[in-house]
Each structure stands twice: as C-alpha cells, then as structure tokens.
Amino acid sequence: MNITEILTRLGIKETNSGTSTGNNWLETGGKNIVSYSPVNGQAIASVQVADEAAYESVMKKAEEAFVFWRTVPAPKRGEIVRQFGDALRAHKEDLGVLVSYEMGKSLQEGLGEVQEMIDICDFAVGLSRQLYGLTMHSERPNHRMYEQWHPMGIVGIISAFNFPVAVWSWNTALAWVCGNVCVWKPSSKTPLCAVACQHIIAKVLKDNDMPEGISSLLVGNAVGDKINNDKRIPLVSFTGSTRVGRIVSAAVATRFGRSILELGGNNAIIISKDADLEMSIIGAVFGAVGTAGQRCTSTRRLIIHEDIYEEFKNKLVKAYGQLRIGDPLDQHNHVGPLIDTAAVEQYTQAIAKGKKEGAEFVVEGGVLDSEAYTSGCYVKPCIAEVENHYEIVQEETFAPILYLIKYKTLDQAIALQNGVPQGLSSAIMTLNLREAEQFLSVAGSDCGIANVNIGTSGAEIGGAFGGEKETGGGRESGSDAWKAYMRRQTNTINYSNTLPLAQGIQFDL
C-alpha cells in the first residue's frame, strides 16, 4: 500500500490549495496548515487556507451557480449526483485509505465511510424524483390549494474530523438534488480528505459543463465564523461539539438563518437480564472502541441489570483483553489512534477527573508510548464503574472510555439513559418484547435514535440521523430530511370568475 501513489491518484500534492469552486483552485494569501497522520506522526501534505478575498470569490461563484442550478430539473440534478456516486466507486479504495491514514480510523471503517457516500448518492438519485408536495381542499369554490418546495440557495456545510467525508456527502447529495449549491468548510484536522473529494466532484461537474460554483471548498478555521454570519447563506449545517454548536446556532439565528445541528452524544446501551449476552458484548465493545471512541454515536455508558452485572462485567473485561491497538491500516488491529495529542490530553484529564469523583477502573487506561506508537496518539480503551450523576459521566469525552452503571428496574434504567444533557443514540439489549416496546414508547428513550438488539454506533443512510436536547435537534441523511434543505411554499389558484374571500368575508366595492 503506497500512500504516495494513492495521494497522487486523488490529486493530492505536497502543497495544495484549500479553496476551490469546482475545478478552479485558487491560490490565496492564507497560511499553510500541515496535515499530520495520527497513525505515525508523519506529515502528509500541506493545505493553504482561504483568506478574505478567496472567501468572497467563492461566494460570488456560488451565487452565480445557484441562479442556474435551481432551474435544472430535479431528475437532471439527480443524474449529476449519480455520476458522482460512480466516481466515488472508482476511487473507493484510495479515498478509504486516505480517510484511514489522515483521520486514524481502521481501514474497514474508512472504506465503509466512502460506501456511505456512495449509498447517499443512490438515495439522493431516487429522491430527485420524489420531492413531493401536497394538495389541499380550499374552502372557497373553484379554488385549488397546494404546497411545493423550492431550493434555499447556498448551503454552508461545516463538518468534523471524525467523519471527514461521509457527513459532508449526507448534506451535499440531498442539498444538490434539492437545487441548492454547497460551500464546504471541512475540519482543519483532516483537510486532505476534503481536497480529494473536491477533485472528484469537480471532474464530474466539468464533464457535464456545469457551473463550478455548485460545489465549493474553503479550508481554514476562520471560515466557519464567516459562514455562520453570512446572510447570503440561508442554511448552515454544523457537525461538532455542543459548545461550538451553541455559538453557531446563536450566530445563524441572529440573522434569521436556519441551522442543522449535529452535536454531542452521550450514548448508552441498557443490558437487560433478558439480553443475549454474547451479542451484547459485541455491540458494547465495538460501540465503545470503534474509531477509538471518536464517533458521536460511540457507546459511552452501559446500564446493566444488577442480576447479570458481575457476569457481564467479567465478559467485557475479558473482551478488552483481546483488543489489538495499532496501525489502523493493518486490518488485524481493532483500535487505532486518537486524532491528535490534544485529544490524548482530554482523554487523560477525563480519567483523572473520573478517579477524583470516585470512578473505579476495572480496565485501566493510559497512553501508549513505545516505539510502535511514535505519533503519541495511541491510548488504551478503559472501563470504569461509576454513578450516572458524576460530572465526567454527564460530559462527552471523545475517547474510548466506557462507564458501567447498575440498575434494578427498567424504569430506572430508562431514567438513567435519559439522565444526561445529550440525546443522540440509545439502545437496549433484550429478548423481552415488553421491555423493547417500552424502551421505544413515548415513555422510553428520549434520543433521536433508539435501537433494540443493536448498539448505538453507526446508522443507515435510509433513516434520518440526528438527536435531541444538547445534540441539537437536526436531521440529516434519509427519510424526509430533505425538507430541511428546502423552503415550503403554499399556493392557491382561483380558476373562477369571482373573487370570494376566505372565511366568507364580504368586501364589496
């Protein structure tokens, strides 16, 4: 596996522009940021960040492109997305390796993330023929009422490092078929994945003689504030921490824009005494250590029935003893690195805080610093027995720290599950139908995602993805999430030769 050759095939050079409208890559006055791989600490390549002039150039091209793109029939827009999906299929192996190498997730997860991009393109192609409105009966004779949906304009997409390509595609594929154009500000921790994606879509747009501003890229931390405060951008989709999400939400709302917020998660699995324990172990371990605990849907808490608590804890400890930590490009390894040393510091601080509050660690954590872990980003997945009210348990730590909590009754378990500020993903492991139905009922999980006999981690693109409370309330990907990218318009047509007023009002002249 030659990383240099892969980068070349994806259009990645030693130094790259981070500003693009389609295939037009702009040299800017911005500084260069170097992307380092958490796998080995090596510099991969550098990317030039956007300056003020570059930002304005991108926005001008996006505005021009929208005027054209909104008039293209939705199925024709779907055809462009279909071709993008095919281009991703051709580049799946290379892009998957880059995702793994730049972000640090396992190669299987990197390839799976690119497959999510392909899947959402397929979904969006079908959606392009299903942007349905409604017809309503008017109370006035010889009148017809209906509603239709129109594109909003420029959609700003601010994505996070942990899914450096998939979350962008969830937003972009839907936004495009809805008639919007997109401006993408990726994480500055994984800019090369974004540059590669822009090269792929730019070729599709060029081959179809489409305006370059349909897809734009802007790298740089300062870009986020510009997008949030730009009245030319009616919709901002932000994926990241709850802390930053509050800032984004306030800025966008102040100018009466809309936002889709996908923020923190503090996800729990309830392990019932009626659970299939072997299946539950698989779901719990992958949920907790997959992507080194850096998914917004990662399992943070296990709420375990007291009758099986010790048995399940022992199985879990045994399973953790079999985990292999190392290079994520080696498919024999289960756990790769954290994204950077700042994330490692947050991990160690969380462990220290947990111990101070009374957490009892049954699997100890720690930073791996031998010659095999030269990047300084590899840590040990750990397990602690805690109480749900501990301050550290109420927070989201983006690292493989798993908390164990004991319960007696299902009502108590659900209360514990719901007893955190976040509300993204949740699950119950049970073969008891009544328990499963109660968990999914109005008195059950308060999360946007609630699963039975699968874990919290991961989601299919066919369902709307998002959560409640401090997770932000946004929805992306499947179901009717497309409505978030459009504006609704109610229409009334009078085909009579009189003008009757609503509610029978008389206004004679």
CB 156 within 8 A of CB 227: yes
Q: How far is 109 from 119, CA to CA, in rounded Å?
A: 15
For residue 230, which amino acid is it? Answer: D
CB 21 within 8 A of CB 212: yes
Total residues belonging to the chain:
509
Measure Cα distances from 1 to 5, 32, 101, 110, 445 in Å.
9, 27, 11, 15, 44
CB hemisphere CA count around 182 (13 angstroms): 25
Query: DSSP letter at 188?
Result: T
Query: Would you call 228 helix, strand, or coil by DSSP?
Result: helix
Measure Cα distances from 400 to 95, 231, 292, 353 in Å.
25, 39, 5, 15
Q: How far is 136 from 118, CA to CA, in rounded Å?
A: 36
Backbone angles phi, psi at 374, to 5 degrees: -70, -20
Among 262, 396, 470, 476, the one annotated catalytic: 262
Residue 157: both structure tokens together: 């997409």
Per-residue exposure over 392-417, b if at least 16 CB sit within 10 Å of its own CB, e if not: bbebbbbbbbbbbbbbeebeebbebb
CA-CA-CA-CA torsion sign (38, 41, 45, 49): positive
Backbone angles phi, psi at 311, to 5 degrees: -60, -45
Q: How far is 248 from 274, CA to CA, in rounded Å?
A: 43
Q: How far is 368 from 289, CA to CA, in rounded Å?
A: 15
Beta pairing class for 449-452 and 401-407: unpaired
CB 364 within 8 A of CB 382: yes
Q: Clarify whether 212 is annotated catalytic.
A: no
Q: How far is 200 from 194, CA to CA, in rounded Å?
A: 10
Measure Cα distances from 202 to 57, 195, 198, 426 in Å.
17, 10, 6, 38
Question: Which residues are the active-site residues?
Answer: 262
